[in-house]
Every structure is written in structure tokens, then in C-alpha cells.
Amino acid sequence: MTRYRSFVAVGDSFTEGLNDPGTDGHFRGWADRVAERLATLEPEFRYANLAVRGKVIDQIVADQVPVAMAMRPDLVSFCAGGNDLLRPGSDPDRMAKKVAAAVRELRGAGADVLMFTGVDPRDTPIMRRARGKFATFYLHLRSIADLSGSLLVDQWSMQGLRDWRAWSDDRLHMNEHGHRMVAAKVLDVLGVPPEDDWRKVWPPRERVDPSAKRREDAQWLREHFTPWLGRRLRGTSSGDNVTAKRPDLIPFEAEDL
């Protein structure tokens, strides 16, 4: 088991931790949970989280990767592409080339790199139509991880994440349960015994009344999908006025959560 002394997380809302409530108006998320566990193994452990919701690959590579490299951490998590894939005309082949270049730079700087595939979108009404594009991009990521000697967290295989009880009301971001499962999977990949089991099996759900399901869908369209679509049409992002919640590589304290 490798004992990491420093960890920098880069990416978008997934790595920022939406929608896993933390303290002081910030979100917690899988990366904070992993940092908390790593800190128990290394007294001098330091952690930074540069991720900002809504960011696409070009922004993450331009704004976050150089900062992470300058910090010279032992471990960097790199997860990007989800917001690109949701945009019309996105090309998974071109996206993968940008990711590969960023990962090569991070590996060249001496860091272990942690990469992620996404969750199978087959159960998501909007995204399942582009399932082939998602799958192509995730296969590229597997190849990049193999070629660069990076670590890979395969969320596609995490059946527990296909249950809506792991997701928040917006159906795009995980809730506390989802983030706990991802943290457990990350720790497993790092060779660190996790406190939770990422192979979560949910108890059977009660049958949902069709009329109640239609009301839920209507509420989701009104409260979540319509505002998201509006931002796309205006060319704005949920992260336009958001800064990194933990921009400096500093000692980790449990009370930070």
C-alpha cells in the first residue's frame, strides 16, 4: 500500500462534491472523504481540491492542471469530460486526446494519476440516447490509463450507482450515498482499506405509483432540466462565479469537512 503525503483533486462538480453537504456552504464529496482516510495514515498529509462545477476539459486543463503540477503532489485525481459530453457536437476522440496530453504532463511531473470512467447512462432519460458516445470516451480513458500507468476507477461497473437512491434530485449529481460509494471504490483502487463497501446492494424499492412518477418527472423538468437548458442556450455555466473550495495544498484537518 502506497502512503501518500499529498493529494490534489482537479475536475468539475463530481470532484467538487455536489451534492454531498459539507460545512460552511461547501460540499464534501468523494475526494474529501478519500483525503480524510489518507490523512489517518500519514500525519503530514496535505490536500487541495481545485475542482469547480460546470467546467469542461479545456478549462480544467488550462486553469487547474498547471496549478496542480506546481504543487508537486504525490497523487492527482483527474476527472473531466462529463460536461463536454452533454454538449451537442462533442467528439469523444478529440476529448480523449486532450485528456491524454494532460495525463502525460501530470505523470511527467512525477505524480500518480487517478482517472475515472463515468457511470453507465442507460438509466438516464436524456443521456441514454448518447450512450455510445459516452462508452467510446470511457474506453479511451481506460486506454489512456493503461498506456500512462495511471490508476483507474471504473464507475461503469458500480451497479449500486445505477439506483436513483445514490443520486440527488437533479439526477446529474450524486448525493451523500453515491459519494460514499465512490470514495470506497477509490480507496480500494489505491489499496487502502475503505470503511464502506462500494459494492452496495440496495434493498428492494416499493412500487411507485405511475401518477406520482409523472409528477416527479414534471418537477424535475421545471426545477432542474429547464434551468440547465437555459444556461446552455445563454452560454453560461453554474461555475462561472465559483472558485475552488480548497485552492491551497495545506495540511488536512477533519474539521474542514
Look over the chain and give the mean of its residue pLDDT values, rounded to a whole number. 91
Domain boundaries, the chain: 6-256
- What is the reported pTM? 0.92
Q: pLDDT-derived band of residue 225, with 50, 70 and 90 as boundaries?
A: low
pLDDT tens, residue by residue, 20-63: 998 877 899 999 999 999 999 999 999 999 999 999 999 999 99
| Domain range 6-256, CATH class | alpha beta
pLDDT tens, residue by residue, 86-104: 888 999 999 999 999 999 9
Q: pLDDT-derived band of residue 218, with 50, 70 and 90 as boundaries?
A: low
Long-range interactions of 173-181: CB distance < 8 A, separation 24+: 173/13, 173/14, 173/18, 173/19, 174/14, 174/18, 174/19, 174/20, 174/30, 175/19, 175/20, 176/20, 176/21, 176/28, 178/20, 179/17, 179/20, 179/28, 179/29, 179/30, 179/33, 180/30, 180/33
State yes or no: pLDDT of 245 exceeds 90: yes
Q: pLDDT-derived band of residue 109, with 50, 70 and 90 as boundaries?
A: very high
Q: What distance lies between CA 158 and its chain's CA centroid?
A: 14
